[in-house]
Structure 1
Amino acid sequence: MARVREVGSLWIGGNLSWMEQLCLKSFVDQGQKITLFHYQPIENVPEGVILRDGREILDTEDFIKYEGKDSYALFADLFRLHMMKHCPGMIWVDTDVYCWRPLDYDSDYVFGLELREVSQGSPRINNAVLGLPADSQMLAEMLEFTSDQYAIPPFLKPKVRAEYQVLADAGTPLHVSQQKWGVWGPTMVSYFARKLGLTDLALPVDAFYPVTFPERLDIIRAARRVHEKITENTTGMHLWASNKRELSLRHNGVPSKGSFILELMEKHGLRAEDAPLRARGWRLLDGELVENIDLEDVDLFTDIGGRSRPLAYEIWKRWGAAVQIVDVDGHGKFPDRPTKAIAEYRDYLIGLGLPEDRVTIARTLEDVQPADVIAHLPGFEKEGKLKDFLPVFGRVLKPGSRMFTDIRGGSGGFGVLRPMGTNEVLSERESEGVKVARVLFRAGEAEEIAATVPTPEPGWSEIARDLAGKDGFFRESDTHSFLYIPRGSDTLVVTFDNLDIAMEKREDRRPWGFSFIEKQGWSMLGVMANGWTWYRDPWVWDQFDDLATSDFFDQFKRVVFYGASMGGYAACAFVAACPGAHVVAISPQSTLDRSIVPWETRYKAAWDRDFSGHYGDASEVSKAAGKVFILYDPYEPLDSGHVDRFTHNNVLKLRAPLLGHRLGSSLQQMGVLSPITLGALNGTLTELEFYRLIRARKTSTRYQKELFKRVVGKGRKDLARKLGRYVLTRGDNRYIRKELALL
């Protein structure tokens, strides 16, 4: 007879979401004893789940987390080891592991492979399901290893271990919370299993991970995609909690019709709306936001854009509030025809029990009524700007209104709302390398609201179409746009710029170099990115393909591609569409393909983008250019690493030492950006002229500071004093003045 096993899991505290409820209840419904350890009260644990105080296993209040990650994954990796030591025979399961059939394994070694194909001799074992003998050497060694939170993991790559060792030797060892994500997870388990010759005990992939991590979205899609992967070996099924993000972003936080996960919810009699999703470290589209509403009564809830179904349902349940859905796009514009998704939203709420007369749709600005609570979530700060919605805010806000919204760092969103009331940051997350704050806004007096709502300014589309005129063109997608302005000249300058910077940080709200290029009488093609995309978008590639195969570039005698940093990469990459054109690139990247430049640690937002194809590796495809001028600081190691990859004969590398990655702004402050750029664009710039111009750096406070720091860093204090005195006798440099006093 198969051995009856007990499983255990951990939830620090607070309400479970429907995904955790589903997984826990699946074990109960299969007749498998399951214990949920916890440190704080949990109010919605499924009936039949045994609750035990986590302090029985680890008596601590130090729930260690990875630095910058509001996740208990690191603590859970540690807890499961101690659980198996204190509870012999108990199998650990993550709270996102579903019980397909009872885990009735006879062996105390219970773990499985997570990938169908692994490199020879290096199997990857996941620890979402993990059982080890309490007296096993493997468990003992992992407990000993994790007892030192500053230990250098022997299973990391030699280069990483070497970096950690340097820090340790310097007396500043790296704490586990600052080390790589998952350091106490599958990588550690796989290492010790290999070390002790236990990998043969690993169950096949279909035991616990029939849907692998790369396939994880299948779980929230058509059920047939999953059923065909389940086998007779399958017992526990990892549902991958990372699916919460996708569910929240694209499925309103609830399972979609026909999906595998909805099939499971219906099987166990659960409804997602009763336990909204909670994602790591931030709240997304969920009813948990209702706890932040500090109003006694809510008569009307308004959802701007129709993206907050769970919150609408929670507010109706608590206050019986009517729901108003405002049918606008990400730029605050009302569509020409009703949006299908908005109508489906209304039907969805009615299907949950809201009376038909309590759910209305506002399809014009005049339809919008003042509301007590408003949701403006999520993603509008990514698509558009808060100021785009000022006309809507002017209609929906009233004194005392509460509004939930997201504000991206550097977007100016706080400044938009501040004149109308007060902002409270509820949580923060990172999206594509930019911090995003989830904010509760409390509206002030009616006069403050009215005074803040101006006549709407034209958006980028209106500005661009006006600039293009009847002879130019403007093309746009959700994330990029092309603006062509003809000026009757035989020179075309193609620039690459970030739309956020153009619209938010430039008074003229024009692409980079607009006035400069206009003064020369040159035609201009401005390629704009709505964010840090590195232009890795098939739509952008299609536009350049179209321009390359038409006679667009042929009408000009001279074409120059220009960009800095991300734009510098694009200038070098897309010049392939116009062979023979020149390139001016400031501090460019060559690619962000991690297999080619693994040493590039910046720009995580673009690491998962596709850098292949005929506009891919800029260092290679730029060989099609006539001349490639690259301006860079050779003392910036990452910039220099990229520039070193440009090896073709058409490349002229112009060094600007100690002026940093933001070389353009440094040259601008020195007053030499304009002549350098003009010379490069019109083809007259020579190496001699360039180096003559940047001699001006000697009076640049940035250059002086960096030079002083390097001298001090080499221990040359006497030389640093001489340099400091030289600088200060010819002007002031605050940094050097302060540091010199300390020498």
Structure 2
Amino acid sequence: MPRTREVGTLWIGGPLSWMEQLCLKSFVDKGQKITLFSYEDIPNVPEGVIRRDGREIIDTDDFIKYEQKNSYALFADWFRLHMIHQNPGMIWIDTDVYCHRPMDYDGDYVFGFELPGEQRVNNAVLGMPADSNLLKQMLEFTDDRYSIAPFLPKKRQAEMQKKADKGRPVHISEQPWGVWGPMMVTYYVHKLGLQDKVQPLNAFYPITFRDRTKFMRQASIAEGLITEDTTALHLWASNKRQLGNLHDGLPPKGSYLKKLVREHDIMPALAPIKGRGYTTFDGALIDHLDLKEVTSVADIAGTARSFVLALHHKFDCDIYLVNTNRRAKFKGEDQPWLAPYITFLTENEVDPDRIKVIRSEADLRAVDVLCNLQGFGHRWRTQFLETFLKRCVHSDTRIFMDVRKGSGAFPFLKPFGTNIPIATREEDEVSVTRICVFPKPPEVEEDDASWDQIAAGLAGENGWYRPGPNGHSFLFMPRDPDTLVVTFDNLDIAMTKREDRRPWGYSFIEDQGWSMLGVLAGGWTWYREPWVCDQFDDLKASGFFKQFKRVVFYGASMGGYAACAFSPAAPGCDVVAISPQSTVDKSVVPWETRYKVVWDRDFTGPYGDAAEVSKSARRVSILYDPYEPLDAQHAARFIHPNVQHLRAPLLGHRLGSSLNQMGILSPIILGALNGTLTSEEFYRMLRKRRDFPRYQRELFNRAVEKGHTSLAKMLGEFILNQNPNRAVRLGMKALG
């Protein structure tokens, strides 16, 4: 009697693309139980897919791959055999196999011919008895990573034998593609006479590898080849290369793939095809962005449209297309790339009102992400990039660009900030490196006061200012002899994003009459500068903090880390930290994937692990969003009795900005700084979030993600009656 069984698969390689999301979700939607094994957290697995740790099957960190193609398919070939052996009845499917209809085969052998002629057996769909001779022999064969397969061409076998005789056997990773895959399965199926167990071509491979691009043509072409015998349909991940090179990593309009993503409610722009083998596509850049919020993105070369589209759909940001030429001049005519770029965006659900064309230098503005792919420093002369670095960059901007060896871009960029290489490729025998730039503040004009001058003026006769290396500094402003507030800020932000060029909270703290010690970092350093530690040691030893009855350390994100980490300099102080990191030491928090710029810093010592050393404080108030996974994991590391966890759901990492927009940041911080803020009072004030558009959007999205469609529609109608929330409006449109 036919039976529908569980299927299983494996994913190695970070977030899923829309193709894997589509295939996994198709099994859920068609009612076939599916388990995804993995060795790391995957952030975008469709709802309904069962998750299991790959170490249940093979406990290893040795993920062997076909080196020639840079593919983990080799490890997957090995893994699937052990999965079937340890999970009797489970059928393996590759992550590029789509559920056309559930597999209800009665027999335990489930695999199919992949080419006409009934010879070659593919293993993209693979099922067999856990105790079968077929599985036993393949497991034995794969135990030896230097074995010489009897099914390889005789000449190749002879060459491998010669190397083995000389003590240089060929490792499996250097052997031909499929040697543990289709070639091996085909050999043993025929050797054991199991050809009658193999499903015909139409079962899984009605569209063969040779015809795989038909999935990207008009939907009717593929539909004409799929038959009633088709169940698990192989979509061929090899199509990713053409999708990335020719279609911006998205399913082509009118194609069979486009039809499928619509049928299963997958949004490709949020998970574009990011790479294939050694080739990476622009959409992959979104995995290298460490910002939690993006309000604007600009493209100055017209070549980053898949990345820009992904940013827009993830962050709902504005898009600026800069109509400039290779010499950074703004001419009257539009650049040739502009019109097709806009068409591409609007065809992929970007509201035209969110697209702004910059046609003059005067209209340039600072943005959160600046795209310069294949532009200045690559195809065009580097020096003309200066205009955009001065006009489009603030201290939090991330710049993505390509640098051609010999262009002079690296020395040119050095005064502007720090860069991190992402990938390197060869073009016409010349190396091109894709980088992300973390900027330093722009040079101030000659008639503008420097920070040294500003700080000295703020300190006055009774205070003091200590400049340190690499832009770090301490500024003390004495007022109330009883209360001192120590704030941690970024000098870049103070000088480039605040009109008054004051440390964070300056006016607020001045209004309360409290004394203030401003500690400023010279960039994104997490204050891991030995000089900073020395200053706190000196202040502690001199009794500086003891002269005050009450000392409060305050900071957000990087500053929140510092407020907690340096609190041992003033034992018994109070700490207020918004969305802090507990540390960025990868050996302690290997799950922290943000802030690559500081991964090489030393986070040890008495001011190192903030979650541990802050136990000397009287009280540590941690404000964070529990639905921001990384922030929540950091907050969970603060476990000492002096910790007060204050949860602000669905308001994001930049929690302070959200609270400020709601008009409750000042009373919350004031209460925290003067010691009167209780949990009850915090949550009472936090009720205002119910009318906050960001909170409403996140709440609506969570209802949709959880499958609570009716609830989401009711909530969406309620929100839209209050305000024209664009994200909710689009979400309601998608719900139908």
TM-score normalised per structure 1? 0.53
1:486 aligned partner: none
Deviation at 1:329, TM superposition (A): 8.3
* Cα deviation, residue 423, structure 1: 2.8
Amino acid at match of 2:103: L
Deviation at 1:325, TM superposition (A): 1.7
In structure 2, do the counterparts of structure 1 residues 387 and 183 end up closer, same or farther at CA, with 3 Å as the change threshold?
Answer: farther
In structure 2, the partner of 1:185 is 181
- How far 1:326 sits from its partner (Å)? 3.3
Aligned to 1:322: 318
User: Is the CA contact (8 Å cut-off) linking 1:368 and 1:395 kept in structure 2?
Assistant: no
AA aligned to 1:234 is: T
Report if the CA contact (8 A) 1:323-1:359 is conserved.
Answer: yes
Deviation for aligned residue 1:226: 0.7
1: distance between equivalents of 2:367 and 2:351? 18
Matches within 5 A, 1:281-680: 284-285=280-281, 289-294=285-290, 298-316=294-312, 320-327=316-323, 338=334, 342-346=338-342, 349=345, 356-362=352-358, 369-377=365-373, 384=379, 387=382, 390=385, 398=393, 400=395, 401-407=397-403, 414=410, 417=413, 420-428=416-424, 437-444=433-440, 446=442
* SS of residue matched to 2:436: strand
2:176 is matched by which residue type in structure 1?
A: K
Structure 2 residue aligned with 1:235? 231
Q: Hey, what does 2:656 align to over in structure 1? A: none
Distance in structure 2 (CA, Å) of the matches to 1:42 and 1:172:
38
Greater CA drift, 305-314 or 268-277: 305-314
Task: Please tell me whether the aligned partners of residues 377 and 408 of structure 2 are also in contact (alpha carbons under 8 angstroms).
Answer: no
Aligned partners of 2:323 and 2:359 also within 8 Å: yes
Indicate the SS of the match to 1:216.
helix
Distance 1:319 1:85, change over 3 A: closer
Query: 1:619-649, CA deviations, whole angstroms, 9 ceiling, x for partnerless residues?
Result: xxxxxxxxxxxxxxxxxxxxxxxxxxxxxxx
Name the CA shift for 1:397/1:258 in 2 (closer, same or farther; >3 Å).
same
Contact 2:249–2:274 (CA<8 Å) still a contact in 1? no
| Distance change (3 Å), C-alpha of 1:281 and 1:213 | closer
* CA deviation after TM superposition for structure 1 residue 111, in Å: 1.6
Judged with a 3 Å threshold, the aligned counterparts in structure 2 of structure 1 residues 131 and 331 are, in CA distance, closer, same or farther, namely farther
1:224 to 216, 220, 224: 220
Secondary structure in 2 matching 1:40? coil
CA–CA distance in structure 1, aligned partners of residues 444 and 186 of structure 2: 60
**Structure 1: segments with no counterpart, 5+ residues:** 450-743
* 2:187 partner SS: helix
Match of 1:61 in 2: 61
* Residue-by-residue CA offset, 1:653-712 (whole Å, 9 max, x unaligned): xxxxxxxxxxxxxxxxxxxxxxxxxxxxxxxxxxxxxxxxxxxxxxxxxxxxxxxxxxxx
- Equivalent residue number for residue 129 of structure 1: 125
Give the C-alpha shift of residue 258 in structure 1. Answer: 0.6
**Residue 293 (structure 1) shift:** 3.3
Q: What is the DSSP-based 3-state SS (H/G/I as helix, E as strand, rest coil) of the residue aligned with 2:167?
A: coil
Change in Cα spacing, 1:106 to 1:166, as seen in structure 2 (3 Å) is same
Give yes or no for contact 1:6–1:89 (8 Å, CA) kept in 2. Answer: yes
Number of aligned residue pairs: give it: 445
The verdict on how the C-alpha distance between 1:276 and 1:2 changes in structure 2, with shifts beyond 3 A counting, is same
Post-superposition offset of 1:286: 5.4
CA contact under 8 A between 2:378 and 2:407: conserved in structure 1?
A: no
Distance in 2 (CA, whole Å) between partners of 1:303 and 1:242 is 29
1:446: how far off?
4.2
Alignment match, 1:261: 257
**Could you tell me which amino acid in structure 1 is paired with residue 150 of structure 2?**
P
Alpha-carbon offset, residue 201 of structure 1: 3.4
Q: Is the 8 A contact 2:366 2:394 kept in 1?
A: no
Going from structure 1 to structure 2, the CA distance change for 1:381 and 1:393 (only over 3 Å counts) comes to: closer
CA gap 1:448/1:440 in 2 versus in 1, 3 angstroms: farther
- Measured after TM superposition, the shift of residue 411 of structure 1 is 7.1
Q: What secondary structure does 2:275 align onto?
A: coil
Letter in 2 for 1:230: I
| Structure 1 residues 254 and 85: CA distance shift in structure 2, 3 A | same
1:240-278 Cα deviation digits (max 9, x unpaired)? 112223222222222222111010111112221233333
Q: Distance in 2 between matches of 1:435 and 1:45?
A: 36
Are the aligned partners of 1:252 and 1:307 in contact in 2 as well (CA < 8 Å)? no
In structure 2, do the counterparts of structure 1 residues 250 and 62 end up closer, same or farther at CA, with 3 Å as the change threshold? same
Shift of 1:174: 2.0
Q: What is the correspondence of 1:684-723 to structure 2 with a 5 Å cutoff?
A: none
Contact kept in structure 2, 1:374 and 1:404, CA below 8 Å: yes
| Cα offset, 1:94, TM superposition | 0.2
- List per-residue Cα deviations over 1:276-306 (Å, max 9, x = no partner): 3332467855555345334576453112343
Between the aligned partners of 2:166 and 2:444, the Cα distance in structure 1 is 56
Question: Which segments of 5 or more consecutive residues in structure 2 lack a partner in the other structure?
Answer: 446-736
What is the aligned partner in structure 2 of residue 74 from structure 1? Answer: 74
TM (norm. structure 2) is: 0.54
In 1, distance between residues paired with 2:331 and 2:206?
Answer: 43
| Matched-pair contact (CA < 8 Å) for 1:331–1:380 | no
Query: 2:171 matched to 1:175?
Result: yes
Q: Where does residue 247 of structure 1 map in the other structure?
A: 243
SS of residue paired to 2:108: coil
Q: Percentage identity across aligned positions?
A: 50
Partner Cα distance (1:81, 1:410) in 2: 49
Task: Answer yes or no: is 1:84 the counterpart of 2:80.
Answer: no
CA distance change for structure 1 residues 260 and 329 in 2, over 3 Å: closer, same or farther? farther
Deviation at 1:102, TM superposition (A): 1.4
1:124 & 1:340 partners in 2: Cα distance?
Answer: 48
AA at the equivalent of 1:115 = L
- Give, in whole Å, the separation in 1 of the partners of 2:347 and 2:178: 42
The residue type paired with residue 55 of structure 1 is R
Matching residue of 2:99: 99
One-letter code of the match for 1:66? Y
Report which stretch shifted further, 222-231 or 52-61.
Answer: 52-61
C-alpha distance in 2 between matches for 1:131 and 1:386:
57
Tell whether the 8 Å contact from 1:111 to 1:126 is kept in structure 2 after alignment: yes
> How far apart in 1 are the matches of 2:23 and 2:404?
34
Give the C-alpha shift of residue 376 in structure 1.
3.0
Q: In the alignment, residue 101 of structure 2 is paired with which amino acid?
A: R
Structure 1: distance between partners of 2:429 and 2:129: 42
Are 2:364 and 2:392, in contact at CA under 8 Å, matched by a contact in 1? no
Q: Alignment partner of 1:167: what SS? A: helix
Note the C-alpha offset of 1:362. 3.6
- Identify the residue that residue 598 of structure 2 maps to in structure 1: none
Aligned to 2:11: 11
SS at structure 2 position matched to 1:372 = strand
1:493 matched residue in structure 2 = none
What is the root-mean-square deviation in Å for CA atoms of aligned residues? 3.7
Would you say 1:196 and 2:188 are equivalent positions? Answer: no
The change in CA–CA distance for 1:166 and 1:345 in structure 2 (over 3 A counts) is same
1:114 corresponds to which letter in structure 2? E
2-structure distance, mates of 1:116, 1:333 = 58
SS of residue in 2 equivalent to 1:277:
coil
Which amino acid in 1 is paired with 2:21? Q
- The separation in 2 between residues aligned to 1:129 and 1:382, in whole angstroms, is 46
Residue 52 of structure 1 deviates from its aligned partner by 2.0
- Structure 2 distance, partners of 1:181, 1:411, is 38
Tell me whether 1:52 sits opposite 2:48 in the alignment.
no
Secondary structure of 2:160's counterpart equals helix
- Amino acid in structure 1 at the alignment position of 2:258: L
Q: What secondary structure sits across from 1:440 in the alignment?
A: strand
Aligned to 1:302, what secondary structure does the other structure show? strand
